[in-house]
Amino acid sequence: MIRKILRKVSFRLSLWQALIFAILAIVLSYVTHTLIVEQIRTHEQEVVSFRLSEFTLEYERGGVEAVKTLANARRKRAQRVFFLRLASAENKTIFLRDPEDWLEFNSDLLRKVPVPTDTRIRWMELNAQDGNALYLAMHRLGDGTVIYVGQSREDTDELLGNFRKRALLLAAVLLPLGFAAGIFLTSRALRPVRGLSKTVHGMIETGRYDVKVTRGETDNEINELVSLFNRLTMQIDGLIRSMREALDNVAHDIRSPMTVIRGRAQLALQRGDDLTLSKEALAECVEESDKVLRILNMLMDIAETEAGISAQNLRQIPVAEISAAVADLYDSVAEEKDIRLKSEATAGLTVKGDPVMLRRALANLVDNALKFTPRGGEVSVTVAKTGAEIVFTVRDSGPGIAKGDLPKIWDRFYRSDRSRSTYGMGLGLSFVQATVKAHGGRIECESKPGSGATFRIFLPA
Amino acid sequence: MRRSLPAPEVQRIEADGVELDLLSRLARREGQRIDLQPREFSLLELLMRNRGQPLSKTQLLEKLWDYSFDPQTNIVDVLVCRLRNKLDRDFDRKLIHTLRGVGYVFRSDD
C-alpha cells in the first residue's frame, strides 16, 4: 500500500517540488545571510576604523591623557560599547577601557597577540570566554605605542542568530505545507486521468466502446488527451459496428447460394435416376458456387490491397491506356443496354501505379455505372489533370444516390434497398476504395437523386 | 548451309461449314459473308480452334481482354450472344452452345 502511494505521480511531483523549494530556500537564505553579514561587517569596520582614527588623532594631539578624556566622553554618549587599549612597544597596557558588561574579558589574551612591526592597521577577531566575539583593529603608532580599538559582536551575532532561527522555522512550516498543497493540486489536475483509467477499465470489462470520458473545461494537455481518446473510441466503435454489419451481410450473401446448392444437389440425389436433372443440378451448383467464390475472392483481394501494393508492380502508366482498356471491356455491354459509353483521356498524362489494379478499380466503377443506368442513358469516363492530381471521373445518368445514403456506400457490402438484387456492388466499391488508398489517392462521390452519380478518383501525379 | 523453314502458319480455319480467313479477318458460313467485329471474330476463332472443347467464361475473359478478374461475367455473355446472333440465327444448325456450369463450345448439334 505504501509503495503504491510512493509511486503515484502526484506524490512524486509534490515531493520533487518540495525538494526544489527546499533547495531554493536554502540557497536564498544563504545568499541573504551572506549579504547581511557582509553589510554588517562593512559597517562594523567603518565604525571601528572611524574610532581608530579618532583616537589616533587625539593621541598625536595630546598623548595618553587626551585619549583618556576622549574615551570617557565617548563612553558617556556612546550608543555602542567599544573597546580601547593603549600598549607600549613591549606590549604592556598603558590604558585599557573595556565595556562594563565584559566582566569575563581577559585582556591577557591581547598580550598573546604579537606586537605589529609596521604601521599597518591589522584587523582581528578575539573570542571572549563567554562566547562573545570582539572585533579589533590594531595600529602601531609612530612612537612605538600600539593602539587597539574594537567593538563587540554580541549584538550582531544575536541578530544573525535570530535570522537563522526564523528562516529555519519558516522552512520547517512551509515545506510540509507546500508539499501538502502540491499533492492536493496535482491530484486535482490528474482527476481526468483517473477518470480515463476508470472508463478504460470499464470498457475492457464490458466490451462496450461507446462510452465517453468527461473532460475538464480548460484547454490543457490532459483534457486534450481526453478529447482525443473519446474520438478514438468513437472511431473504434464505428469500425467494430461496420465490421459486424459486414460480417452479417457476408453470411447472408453466402448463405443464399449455399442453400440453392444444397437444395439442387439434394433434389438430384432424391430423383436418383434422372440423368438430365442431375446434370442440370450440377450445372447450377457450379454457377452458385461461382457466386460464393466471387464474394470470397473479392474479400481477400480487398484485404490484400489494404495491406499495400508491392513496389515491383508500380510503373508510370499512360492514363489513356487504362481508360481505353476499360472502355474496351464494356463497349459491347453498353451497346446491349443502348447506353452511350464515352471515354476521354487527356493525352500524354501518366500516373504511377499498378496497371492491373487501376484498370480493375476503374472497371468496377464503370460496371456499377452501367448497372444502374437505364436504357438510353449515358456513362462517361474522363481522365484529366487538375493541379497536382490525376482525376478519373465516371459519371452516369442513373437514378443517383440519396444524400443520407451517400456516406454509407463505402461500407463493405453496403447496398441501398434498390440494389439488393444485384451482386457485387457492395464489395466492388470497397475494393475501389482500398485500391485508391493503396495508391496514395482518394475517392469522392457526388450525386443528386434523379440526376445520376459522379465518382472521382484522385491520384497523385 | 541449310536453312530450316519456319513452320507454316495457319491461315484458314474451317469447320462445319464455317470458314475463317485469319489474314484478312473475314468469316463465312456456307459461303455467305458474316460481318463480325474484331472481338467477335477473335471469339469465334478461339472457339473454333478449341472445337468440341468448352471454354469457361473466365478463360474467354482472360484471352480476349487480358482481364483476369471476375466481377461481371456479363461481358462475355453479351459477346457470345452477339456472335450467336450473327452466326447461328439464320441457320438451322446451331454451332455455338452453352454448357451450364462449364462454358461455351463450338460444335455441331448433337
Q: How far apart are CA A67 and CA A47, in angstroms?
A: 17
| Whole-number Å distance between alpha carbons of A19 and A179 | 9
Q: Number of A to B CB contacts under 8 A, please give it.
A: 52
Model pLDDT for residues A307-353, shown as the tens digit of each residue: 877 777 888 889 999 999 999 989 888 988 899 999 999 888 899 89
Tell me what ipTM this predicted complex has: 0.81
Contacts of A356 in chain B (CB under 8 A): 68
Closest CA to A342 of A375, A382, A397: A382
Mean pLDDT is highest, among A30-34, A302-306, A414-418, for A30-34
Scanning the structure block, which residue is given the C-alpha cell 527546499?
A: A22
Please give the grid coordinates belonging to residue A102: 565584559
The pLDDT confidence band at residue A394, using thresholds 50, 70 and 90, is: very high
Q: What is the pLDDT of residues A160-199, one digit of tens each?
A: 889 889 988 988 888 888 888 888 888 888 888 888 888 8
Q: Would an 8 Å CB–CB cutoff place A297 in contact with chain B? A: yes
Query: In Å, how far are A17, A213, A256, A360, A429 from A397, measured between CA atoms?
Result: 71, 47, 31, 22, 18
- How far does the CA of residue A192 sit from the closest CA of chain B (Å)? 51
CB spacing of B100 vs A287 below 8 angstroms: yes
- The vertex-A100 CA angle with A94 and A101, nearest 5°, equals 135
pLDDT per position as a tens digit, B39-94: 999 999 999 999 999 999 888 988 988 877 765 658 899 999 999 999 988 888 88
Matching residue, cell 491506356: A321
User: What is the arithmetic mean of pLDDT over A46-59?
Assistant: 90
Of A4 and B53, the one with more pLDDT: B53
Give the residue-averaged pLDDT of A436-460.
91
pLDDT of residue A127: 77
Which of B65, B70, B81 faces A329 most closely, judged by CB atoms? B65
Q: What's the gap in Å between the CA of A201 and the closest CA on chain B?
A: 45
Does the pLDDT value for residue A356 go beyond 60?
Answer: yes
Interface touch B78/A283, C-beta < 8 Å = no
Residue A285 CA: distances (Å) to CA of A175, B57, B75: 85, 16, 21
Is the pLDDT assigned to residue A129 strictly greater than 80? no
Give how far B8 is from chain A: nearest CA, Å. Answer: 32
Give the whole-angstrom CA distance, residue A324 versus residue A333: 15
Q: Residue A181: in which H helix or E strand, if any?
A: helix A154-189
Chain B residues whose C-beta sits inside 8 Å of any chain A C-beta: 39, 65, 67-72, 74-75, 78-79, 81-82, 99-102
Structural contact between residues A150 and A81, judged by C-beta atoms closer than 8 angstroms? no
Tell whether the model's pLDDT for residue B110 goes beyond 60: no
Q: B102 CA to chain A: closest CA distance, Å?
A: 7
Query: In chain B, which residues have their Cβ closer than 8 Å to the Cβ of A336?
Result: 78, 81-82
- The strand ranges marked E within A306-452 are 315-318, 340-345, 350-353, 378-386, 389-396, 442-447
Roughly how many angstroms between the first and final C-alpha of chain B, as a whole number? 53
- Cβ-contact B86, B38 below 8 angstroms: no
pLDDT one-digit tens code per residue, B21-45: 989 999 999 888 999 999 999 999 9
Instruction: Give A422's pLDDT tier (boundaries 50, 70, 90).
Output: very low
pLDDT for A5 equals 73
Judged against a pLDDT cut of 60, whether residue A415 lies above it is answered with: no
Give A115's strand partners. none
- Among B68, B87, B71, smallest CA distance to B79 is for B87
Q: In A, which residues are within 8 Å of B103 by CB distance?
A: none
Looking at residue A377, its pLDDT comes to 92
Whether the Cβ atoms of residue A331 and residue A341 lie closer than 8 Å to each other: yes
Cell 456506400 sits on residue = A409
Residue A105 cell numbers, joined? 574579558
List the 331-350 stretch of A: residues with Cβ below 8 A of B: 332-333, 336
Query: Exposed, middle or buried, B55 (CB in 10 Å: 0-12/13-18/19+)?
Result: buried
The model's pTM is 0.63
Q: Which residue of B has its CA nearest to A355?
A: B67
Residue A80's nearest CA partner among A37, A129, A39, A44 is A44
C-alpha A61/C-alpha A67 separation (Å) is 9
Asked whether residue A249 carries a pLDDT value surpassing 60, the answer given is yes
Q: What is the pLDDT of residue A111?
A: 67
C-alpha–C-alpha distance, residues A10 and A182, integer Å: 8
A313 touches chain B (CB under 8 A): no
Burial of B71 (0-12, 13-18, 19+ CB in 10 A): buried
Kindly list the distances between the CA atom of residue A82 and the CA atoms of A56, A89, A136, A149, in Å, as whole numbers in the listed order: 15, 22, 10, 7
Q: Give the per-residue pLDDT at A79.
A: 62
Strand order in the sheet with B26-29: B12-15, B18-21, B26-29, B32-34
Residue from A438, A296, A443 nearest A365 by CA? A443
- Judge: B67–A285 Cβ closer than 8 Å, yes or no: no
Q: Which residue of B has its CA nearest to A331?
A: B75
Q: B6: which DSSP letter?
A: P
Q: Count CB neighbours of A149 within 10 A.
A: 25
Which residues of chain A lie closer than 8 angstroms to B74, CB-CB?
333
Residue pair A454/A446 in contact (Cβ under 8 Å)? The answer is yes
Residues in A touching B100 (Cβ below 8 Å): 280, 283-284, 286-287
Long-range CB contacts (within 8 A, 24+) of A188-197? A189/A222, A190/A9, A190/A10, A190/A222, A191/A216, A192/A216, A192/A222, A192/A223, A192/A225, A192/A226, A193/A222, A193/A225, A195/A226, A196/A225, A196/A226, A196/A229
Q: Which residue of A has its CA nearest to B58?
A: A290
Give the confidence band of A425 by pLDDT, cuts at 50, 70, 90: low
**Binary contact (B67, A329; C-beta < 8 A):** yes
User: What mean pLDDT is reported for chain A?
Assistant: 83
Nearest to A363 among B71, B82, B99 (CB): B71
* Nearest residue, CB atoms, B72 vs list A280, A359, A367: A367
Q: Which residue, chain included where needed, has cell 493525352?
A: A347
- Dist. CA A250–CA A299, nearest whole Å: 9
Mean pLDDT, residues A219-230: 85
Q: Are the C-beta atoms of A351 and A317 separated by less than 8 Å? A: yes
Q: Cβ contacts (< 8 Å) between A332 and chain B: which residues? A: 39, 75, 78-79, 82
CB contact under 8 A, B100 and A283: yes
A234: cell is: 468513437
